[in-house]
Copies of this chain bind each other. A is one copy, B any other.
Amino acid sequence: MDTHTQVSGMLEKIERVRQARRKKFYLRDEHITLSHGSGSKATHNLIEGIFAPAFSNPLLDQMDDSAVFTLTQTSETATAMRMAFTTDTYVVSPLLFPGGNIGTLAVHGTINDLAMAGAQPLYLSAGFILEEGFSIAELRKIVEAMAQAAQNAGVAIVTGDTKVVQRGKADGLFINTAGIGILRDNTLRGQNRLQAGDKILLNGPIGDHGIAIMLAREALDIESTIESDSAPLHTLVARIMQVAGAGIHCMKDPTRGGVATTLSEMAMASEMAIVLEESAIPVRPEVRGTCEILGLDPLTIANEGKMLVAVAEDKAEQVLAAMREHPLGREAAIIGTVQPEPAAMVFMNTDIGGKRVLDMLVGDPLPRIC
């Protein structure tokens, strides 16, 4: 198959998946609700109903967390470079929580979106919206932690912007970070590239971030030692790419909407089925207990230091071993398998011997988690 055929085949597939998604997502609402920001079905309805058709282009249409492209410069000698570019806005409440703050989260989150694309994160931008009256001492604390997080991860914040709005027109502080990185190899990866037989790997216990945020809110009076798992995953990614290279078909971090939503996105984009083993999915007892008390499903709770990886079957054990040697993958596990049918579905074989269909998060049990 020559390159032209490959590309047009890929574009056709993107278009087919896009059409299918359009059918699946309807935007019926007249006003924005909190659900539209939860990473749930409502978020997808909004994106597919407004943003995706308006901004449509082959890079955006893939709907991965980063755009990946080749830049070509022809000014003197022609050079080409494969890059990733991503953005995320952070509106987490409260601004400070066990395990981090809005600033460290903004650094880790954007590093992770680049890392999931197989890129080495290099440079971040930072855009701040401040509410009139916000404490400068608190801002300093957050900014210094943010700078430390960037330095620890080996990225530089190279450009920024600050805006202020009147009291009551924001909530203290919102931060946007965008980031660019250079692709570590030339393999095409993405949520539409799962293959039958792939193993789904997860680097550790789920739900810590969402539960830590929820418990940090004053309304709930539950004592807990749970900390956000917020962490930069790029060195873990570099390690597993070294081990398995083109055998890694997709990496995606289960943030808003949790593991269930992220795997649903992968299954839909790839037109594949994913079958999980509940017993294999690591969840801390404290997170599980809190979820039970509050009627939440750990599989829909946000994470900020976790990744789901679809790996070719013959490389899965090697990747698992490499993950477990890394500080952010000590409790890594193979949690599922990719199958050709039924396309675009996620199932879970439950602990009690049943089979459950997993879908995207509906509604928003935990607004402003990131």
Contacts and interface: CB of A to CB of B under 8 A. Distances in A.
Interface of A: 27, 29-38, 43, 46-47, 50-51, 54-55, 57, 59-60, 65-67, 69, 71, 73, 75-76, 79-83, 85-91, 122-123, 125-137, 139-140, 143-144, 146-147, 150, 156-166, 168-171, 174, 176, 178, 180, 182-186, 367-368, 370
Nearest to A170: B170
A66 B160 CA distance: 9
A157 to B, nearest CB: 4
B178 A31 contact: no
Nearest to A89: B127
B73 A134 contact: no
Given A82-B73, A176-B87, A36 B125 contact: no
A187 to B, nearest CB: 11
Given A55-B126, A75-B185, A147-B54, A46 B162 contact: yes
A32 B161 contact: no
A47 to B, nearest CB: 7
A174 B91 CA distance: 12
B182 A125 contact: no
A162 B51 contact: yes
A162 B87 contact: no
A125 B87 contact: yes
A289 B134 CA distance: 36
The 3 closest A-B pairs by CB, nearest first: A37-B164, A178-B178, A87-B125
The residue among A81, A143, A183, A368 with the most chain B CB atoms within 10 A of its own CB is A81
B163 A69 contact: no
A60 B30 contact: no
A130 B144 CA distance: 27
Nearest to A86: B159
Contacts of A164: 32-38, 367
Contacts of A54: 140, 143-144, 146-147
19 contacts: A27-B136, A33-B132, A34-B164, A35-B164, A36-B164, A37-B164, A51-B160, A55-B147, A60-B160, A67-B159, A69-B158, A81-B81, A85-B125, A125-B178, A163-B174, A164-B367, A170-B170, A170-B171, A174-B174
Given A159-B67, A165-B37, A29 B136 contact: yes
A122 B71 contact: yes
The residue among A67, A129, A159 with the most chain B CB atoms within 10 A of its own CB is A159
Given A37-B165, A54-B147, A55-B126, 13 more contacts: A27-B136, A31-B135, A32-B135, A32-B136, A34-B166, A37-B130, A55-B157, A71-B83, A73-B82, A87-B178, A88-B161, A89-B163, A165-B174
Contacts of A125: 67, 85-87, 178
B51 A367 contact: no
Nearest to A91: B163
Contact of A161 (B73, B79, B87): B87
Contacts of A146: 54-55
Given A86-B125, A89-B127, A171 B162 contact: no
A134 B229 CA distance: 32
